[in-house]
Structure 1
Amino acid sequence: MEVAGVLLCLAAAVLAWGLLRVWDAWERMKSQEQAGLPGGGSRALLVTAHPDDEAMFFAPTILGLARLGHQLSLLCFSAGDYYNQGEIRKKELLQSCDVLGIPSSSVTIIDNRDFPDNPAVRWDPGRVADVLLRHIELNSIDLVVTFDAGGVSGHSNHVALYAAARTLCAEGKLPKGCKVLALQSVNRLRKYISLLDLPCSLLLARDALFVLTRQEVAQAQMLQLQKDKCRPQAVNSHLHTPSVKGGAQPATPKSQLTPRGEASFSATQGRAAGKRASLLGPQPCVHHHLPRGRDPSENQDLQNCVPVAHPSVLQWKELPESADSGNKDLALL
C-alpha cells in the first residue's frame, strides 16, 4: 500500500506539473512574450517559396500575428509555374492573402529564372539571402518567418529559404532588432492527430505557438473553398497530368508523392478536404525543430504535409544569438 501511495503521489505531481506547463504555454501564446516578439505595429515578413505555401503551412501564424497587431507582408520567391500555371497561381496567392488580411500592396512575387519552381533545382542560398536582405532593409522588417531545415515537406525550395535565413543570421547581416522564426517540422503522425496534439504542442513550445480561434478557423477554411471555386476549368485541362504541386489540381482522386517527395493532390481530393474541414474542423499540422546538431537529411520522419485541410496549430523556434560570435545563428532543437 505504501508503494502504491508513493506512485499515486508521483503521478499526481507529474500531472499537476504538466497542467501548469500547458497553462503557462497557453497564456504566453496569447501575449507578445512569445520569442520576444516585437510589439504591435511592427513589420512582419512571411517568406515563402511558392503560391499556396501561405495557406498550407502559415495560415495560423499569419492570423496569429495579425491578432497581435503586426503589420504583415509576404515575399514569395516563385510564381509557382512548375505546371505552366504561374499566372493562375499568382492570382490565387493575392486572393489567399486578401482572406488572410495581407493587402495586395504588401505582397511581392518574384518571377525570376534564378528561382524556378522545381524541386529538382537547388536555389543558390547566397542569391536568396541577397534578395531577402535587400527586401528586409527596404521595408524596415522587424520579424521574418519562414521554413526550417526540413522545409516541412522536404521541398528543396523551402530548404533554400532556411539556408538563406541561416546565412543572414550567422553572418550578422540582419538589421538590429530584426528577429527570425523558423517553422518547425514534425513527423506525419503529429501532423494529422488534430487537436489531440495540442497539449503536446503546448508542452514543447519554446518560442512561439499560434493556435487558431473558432473565427480564424473559418477564415482559414475559406482559402480552400476559394481554390475550389476559382479553378473549375483547370481540372479538365489537366486530365492526363499524373500529379501536381499543392496549388494545381489534376483529375486523379488519390493523394500522391512525386519522386522528389513533393506534396501533390487532386481536384477531387481538394474538394473532399474542404467538405471534411467544414464538418470536422481543421486538422492541425504542428511543426517542430530537429534535435540540436542532428542532420535533417537523417530524419526519416520528415514527410510531406499533404494539404487535406488547413493546419490550426503551428509551433516556431527563434534563431537566437550565437554565444561565441555575438551574431545571430540558427539553433536546431
Structure 2
Amino acid sequence: MKKRGQVTIFVVLGIVLLALAAGIFYFVNQGAKDGLDVAGEKTDFSRQIRPQIVQFVEGCIEEKAVEAIDVASRHGGIVMYDEHTLVTDTTFLRYAFKDGISLLDESLASRHIGFYIDLALPTCLDFSVFEEQDVTITLRPSTSVHDVNLLYGYGLAPEDLPTFTNVIISPTTVRVETEYNLYVEQGDTSFTIDRFTFEVPSTLGSAIRDAKTIQQQYDESNVIDLTFLTGLEPQVTIHPVDESTQIYSLFYGNAIPSYFAYAVESSGNAAPVLDVSPVINVKAGTPFSFQVAATDADNDAISFETSRFAISDKGIVSGTARAGRSPVTITATDSQGASVEKEVMVIAK
C-alpha cells in the first residue's frame, strides 16, 4: 500500500508539472506572436506610407530647387545682395569680376541656392493631407547650421530654419540633398525620415564655367573678341552701365536656367607712361639718337610718334639738329587707343 501511494503522488505531480509547462509555453508563444504582429504592423505602415511622403517632399524640393536656380542665375549666382553687388534701378547683380579679381564662386552659389530652398519649403509642404490616413508628421530641427550672414540678412535666427539643404553644382546638374527630419506616427507605430535627395538637370555649372572663360580671354587680350564670343554655346550680350562696368547675359534657350547674368567692373584701359628726359643736349650738325622708355599697365603693345625727327618701333629718336632749340612732341599709344604725350626740348650747340 505504501508503494502504491507513492506512485499515485508521482503521477499527480507529473500531471501538474506538465500542465504548468504547457501553460508557460502558451503564454510565451502568444507573447512572441503578439510581438511579431506589432513588428509586422510597423513594417507594413512604413512600407505603405514612406514612399508617399518621400514623393510628396521631393516634389516640393524639385519645385523650389528649379525656382532657386532661376533666381540665383538672374543675379550672378546669389539670392541676396552683398558688398560685391551692383545695384540698379530694377535689379541687383553680383560682380563676377572686379578690378582684376575673380569673384565667381560655385560654393557661394550653392549656399545661396540651398538657403533659398530651405526658406521656401514651407510654402509647398502641408502635411495635413496625410491626416485622412490618421498619420501625424512632426518636423524636428536639423543639426546643421546655415551661413549666419544669410540668416541675419533676412532677420532670421538658426532655429527659424529647421531644415538644411546642401547643393552640389556640376556642369550638367544641380544635386540637392536636404536634411528634413520627419517623425511619422500612426497610432502606436512610428518611423523617421531624415534625408531627401533630388537632382535637377541644369546648365548653371556650365554658365559659371563660360563666364570664367570669357573673362580669361579678355584678361589675355584686353579686348572683347566678338568672334570668340560667337563660338561659345550660349548667346552672349554685353550691356555697358558706365565706362568701367558692364552687365553680361549668357542665354541657354530652354535650359535651367534659361540665362545667367552677372556684372564686371574694371578700372578701364590705362594709358602708357613715358619716361624721357625733358631736355636733350646734342651737337649741332651731327647725327644723334636717344631712347624713349614707355610702359603699359595692361601690357598692351605700344607705338610711337614724334612731331619732328624719326622714332623707331623701339622708341629710339634719331636725326640731325641745327644749332638752337627744337621742341619735340613724343606720343605713345597702346593697342586699345589710349595715348600719352610728352614734350622734349632738343638743344643743339
Q: TM-score, normalised by structure 2?
A: 0.22
The structure where helix makes up a greater share of residues is: 1
Specify which structure has the bigger relative contact order, considering alpha-carbon pairs within 8 angstroms and separated by 6 or more residues: 1
Q: TM-score, normalised by structure 1?
A: 0.22
Structure with the greater alpha carbon radius of gyration:
2
